[in-house]
Amino acid sequence: MAPLILLLLTFLATTDARSDRAISVSPARLAELSEPLAIVRQVGTSGHRRVRNHLVEFLSRQPGWQVELDTFHAETPIGRQRFDNIIATLRLNDAQSGSSGHRRLVLAAHYDSKLLPGFVGATDSAVPCAVLLRAAETIGRAVARASRLSPPGPGIDILQLVFFDGEEAFKEWTRTDSLYGSRHLAQKWAQDGTAQQIEALVLLDLIGGRNPKFYYNPHPSSDERVIDTEMRMFIQLGATEAAILPDSDEPDSDYFQLMKIGSGTVQDDQLPFQEIGVPTVHLIPQPFPAVWHTPADTLEAIEWDQAADLANIVLFWTAQTIGL
């Protein structure tokens, strides 16, 4: 416990409690970014294509970001489908695309919706995607303004935003009917060496419910190096909460429950990366929001003030981690 507390205090000492307003989001702006995404967007539908195109166009307008599609086809219980992972890359300092030895930080969410009539999935995961869009529109500009980045710790020189396709099952959740995009990208990055460059993948899901609680959930197969990295990242997120949300002075009221372990690994887009040894931080509340996988998962059900709190924790922590 002592090393954990020491790490928390160290990160607090280097964290400015006044978050840079240029790298933050208001509840109103988060709602505005979420609105175009909170439509029926099941894989293969016009709504899915509309959201995909919106994400690509939005990201392409942000300074400094390079946007690419990881397109592939896969068999599903309803036939062969096309999937498009969307990857936005911001190179920090003098990182060159062809060189090796990079350290990457990846923020991720999925953009497809579950195959249910009328289901728009506001928490699952329109709002998480909106958090990533806010990262794109603020951090790129901040990096352009910064004359020099001096990242603490691992020395991150590439920031990536990944919007996974095909997270939801078409029929019943199984290892083969789920996580289509993340399984494909994890395999691709394991083969080309990108996975070995990832310092951590932070996955956001089910953001927007009332009074969410986040716990650290280590994967059973993770080694000591991976667990140490994941714990450090999770503790830093908790320290960021303490720094920018001074009212969270009661441990049980904190979003990030630093002294508790969650109920176990949740099967989500982080899983294929955990299985290849990539450190991951899974930001999914336990228990899930009451509206999970119901028609009530709409923008009207979102607790916007709390969703913006969480977004700002992630945004400010990301800025700190890359040295802004």
Q: What is the pLDDT of residue 153?
A: 47
Side-chain half-sphere CA neighbours of 96 within 13 A:
3
137 labelled catalytic? no
Peptide linkage before 125 cis (omega within 30 of 0): yes
The pLDDT of residue 94: 63
Of 157, 137, 171, 172, give the one whose Cα is nearest residue 64: 137
- Domain boundaries defined on the chain: 20-208+287-322
pLDDT on residue 251:
58
- 205: annotated active-site residue: yes
Tokens found for residue 241: 């909460």
Picking from 294, 267, 70, 293, the residue whose alpha carbon sits closest to that of residue 161 is 70
Q: How many Å from the N-terminal Cα to the C-terminal Cα in the chain?
A: 30
- pTM, full prediction: 0.92
Cβ atoms of 170 and 115 closer than 8 Å: yes
pLDDT at 144: 85
The Cα–Cα gap between 263 and 269 comes to 18
**Which amino acid is located at 249 in the chain?**
D
Residues 6+ apart with CB under 8 A from 123: 206, 207, 208, 209, 289, 291, 292, 297, 301, 302
3-state secondary structure the chain: CHHHHHHHHHHHHCCCCCCCHHHCCCHHHHHHHHCCCCCCCCCCCHHHHHHHHHHHHHHHHCCCEEEEEEEEEEEECCEEEEEEEEEEEEECCCCCCCCCCCCEEEEEEECCCCCCCCCCCHHHHHHHHHHHHHHHHHHHHHHHHCCCCCCCCCCCCEEEEEEECCCCCCCCCCCCCCCHHHHHHHHHHHHHCCHHHEEEEEEECCCCCCCCCEEECCCCCCCHHHHHHHHHHHHHHHHHHHHHCCCCCCHHHCCEEEEEECCCCCCCCCHHHHCCCCCEEEECCCCCCCCCCCCCCCHHHCCHHHHHHHHHHHHHHHHHHHCC
Predicted confidence at residue 17, as pLDDT, reads 41
Cα Dmax for the chain? 54
pLDDT < 70 regions, the chain:
1-21, 94-101, 147-154, 247-252, 262-263
Task: Convert the pLDDT of each residue in 144-166 to its tens digit.
Answer: 888 565 554 458 999 999 999 99
Residues 91, 108: Cα–Cα separation, whole Å: 17
Q: Six-digit token pair at 178?
A: 């789920």
Write down the pLDDT at residue 2.
46
| The one catalytic residue among 205, 230, 241, 269 | 205
- CA dist., res. 235 & res. 256, Å (int): 8
Looking at the domain covering 20-208+287-322, what would its CATH class be?
alpha beta
For residues 181 and 85, the answer to whether their CB atoms sit within 8 Å is yes
Q: How far apart are CA 14 and CA 181, in angstroms?
A: 36
